[in-house]
Amino acid sequence: MQSQTKAPLSADSKPEGMLAKARENLRMACDQLNIHPDVFEELKWPRETLAATLLIRMDDGSRRAFKAWRCRYNDRRGPTKGGVRFHPNVSLDEIETLAFWMTFKCAVANLPFGGGKGGVCVDTKQLSPVELERLSRAYIEAFAPFIGPDHDILAPDMYTNGIVIAWMSDEYSSISGQASPSALTGKPLAFGGTVGRIDATARGGYYALRHLETSLDVNPDKSTVAIQGFGNVGYHCAKLLHADGYTIVAITDSSGGIYDPAGFDPLAVMQHKHETGSVKGAKGHGKTKQISNTVLLELDCDVLVPAALERQITLDNCDRIKARVILELANGPVSPEADKRLTEAGHVIVPDILANSGGVTVSHLEWVQNRSGFYWDESRVRDHLKTTMETETRAIWTLHNEMSVSMREAAYIHGLRRIAESVEARGTPAYFDGT
Ligand code: NAD
């Protein structure tokens, strides 16, 4: 096993794409707050992005190279924090965009972190478990000088689960010569993980929705919910809302899905998925129909929960979206153009940087517990998550009303205020001019 770290990339070599689009929210928030151009200048590019080629020995004795990145977008509020994604479509632009979103998500949740992200261009389904372990360790070997509990903290993301994080944590501790559990979060409990992390992302979105029920005119007695994606986030969200009385009328995963106006029991659907590998064929309480993902997104329901992939709602389908409330548990499920059109048409989008911030909020608690060596019980973790989600949701909803901006714009304004304060705390142009 061998890995090679390359020199940081220059800003000019980066392609324009998702990050350029994401940056429009930064521009909007800077304009709304009338913030000094220095802040925009500081935040328009990542602070540093490292690229590496991970060379691993395959089971058949050959060597294969995998492209990998780690981006630290901005660290004014603290060490950077963000997941590592293993996916064949991972690109530099995607990693930097996700790191940008993490910067704002951590600020929205008022965490002492900046934003980071990493990834490897790989289809993990093509690797044996031992090859996956070699790749996970090679990632840490490549980026070890760049990460650490006070510098850059890693976490799971798509196709990097608890065992991958355990291998990474183990490798990082070996390289640093001491147990360093707080360099990675999302660890298994036996590896220094925290209780309450598994459903934290879904639970955070659930607390946000329930807190806004009166304002959004939704409630368990009358409202229907459609959920795209039935993995960790989609399943736990369905379970929590169903337990409170919401009717879960549709669920899809990558193979398609199911619709039943009388609703589903998410536990039974998950059991079916375990047995068959898909939600298709699971039965609801009434006449269940098989549907596609396209149909799910366009269903007549009260709350739509995208909990799968980026860019599911675009200009191609946004005019057919009927759900009045969209709770973005996935990252970036609505394109910026569709977001504008939907907002103008009166839909309320609870944006990803608020709605799915429960995951990183509980990851912060894992980091705190690792550093103090004192571990919390589940009710303490949940209470903290609930208070954080309700406080930040209320602040963003108030800004949304007071400034007549969308909830997404309000969330960016809310996050930017905090980031700008930490930039300005190092000296403003007025201070240096002496004016
Ligand atoms: P996961 O891998 O556990 O589940 C993903 C689900 O999406 C699977 O059920 C898969 O079948 C389904 N899916 C894939 N393609 C689909 C398609 N075209 N249509 C419908 N379903 C499809 O992932 P997860 O951890 O639940 O994450 C889901 C989303 O939430 C991702 O966007 C992720 O970035 C975001 N997110 C997750 C966390 C977390 O803590 N897990 C935190 C923040 C954001």
210 and 143, same domain (yes or no): no
288 vs 41: CA distance, rounded Å: 53
pLDDT score, position 4: 38
State the average pLDDT over residues 273-300.
Answer: 97
Picking from 165, 191, 217, the residue at the C-terminal end of a domain is 191
Token readout for 310 is 């980026």
72 and 186, same domain (yes or no): yes
Picking from 175, 191, 207, the residue at the C-terminal end of a domain is 191
Pocket test for ligand 1, best of 158, 164, 236 (most atoms within 8 A of CB): 158
Residue 200 burial (C-beta neighbours within 10 Å; 0-12, 13-18, 19+): buried
Known catalytic residue at 239: no
400 and 305, same domain (yes or no): yes
pLDDT score, position 37: 85
Q: pLDDT tens digits for 4-38? A: 334 344 333 334 588 998 899 999 999 999 888 88
Residue 60 alpha carbon to ligand 1 centre in Å = 32
Residue 176 alpha carbon to ligand 1 centre in Å = 32
Residue 237 alpha carbon to ligand 1 centre in Å = 12
DSSP H or E run through 176: helix 162-176
pLDDT score, position 435: 53
Pocket test for ligand 1, best of 187, 201, 258, 311 (most atoms within 8 A of CB): 201
228 and 331, same domain (yes or no): yes
Q: Is 230 in the pocket of ligand 1 (CB under 6 A)?
A: yes
Q: Which residue has the higher pLDDT, 271 or 11?
A: 271
154 and 300, same domain (yes or no): no
| 115 within 8 A of 103, measured Cβ to Cβ | yes
268 and 388, same domain (yes or no): yes
pLDDT, mean over the chain = 93
227 and 106, same domain (yes or no): no
Owning domain of residue 166: 46-191
pLDDT score, position 11: 37
Q: pLDDT tens digits for 173-184? A: 999 999 999 999
- Which domain CATH number covers 234? 3.40.50.720
Kindly name the residue from 117, 187, 239, 273 that is annotated as catalytic: 117
1 and 112, same domain (yes or no): no
Q: Is 228 in the pocket of ligand 1 (CB under 6 A)?
A: yes
89 and 232, same domain (yes or no): no
DSSP H or E run through 55: strand 48-57
C-alpha dihedral sign at 92, 93, 99, 102: negative
Q: Is the pLDDT of residue 281 over 60?
A: yes
- Which domain CATH number covers 178? 3.40.50.10860
Q: pLDDT tens digits for 373-387? A: 999 999 999 999 999
Q: Is 361 in the pocket of ligand 1 (CB under 6 A)?
A: no
243 and 99, same domain (yes or no): no
**DSSP structural state of residue 9:** P
Q: Is the pLDDT of residue 80 over 60?
A: yes
Residue with CA nearest ligand 1 atom 15: 254
Full-model pTM? 0.93
Picking from 157, 191, 225, the residue at the C-terminal end of a domain is 191
pLDDT score, position 182: 97
The percentage of the chain sitting over the pLDDT mark of 70, rounded to a whole number, equals 95
Token readout for 153 is 């903290």
Q: pLDDT tens digits for 147-179? A: 999 999 999 998 898 999 999 999 999 999 999
Pocket test for ligand 1, best of 87, 254, 297 (most atoms within 8 A of CB): 254
99 and 87, same domain (yes or no): yes
76 and 50, same domain (yes or no): yes
How many domains are contained in the chain? 2
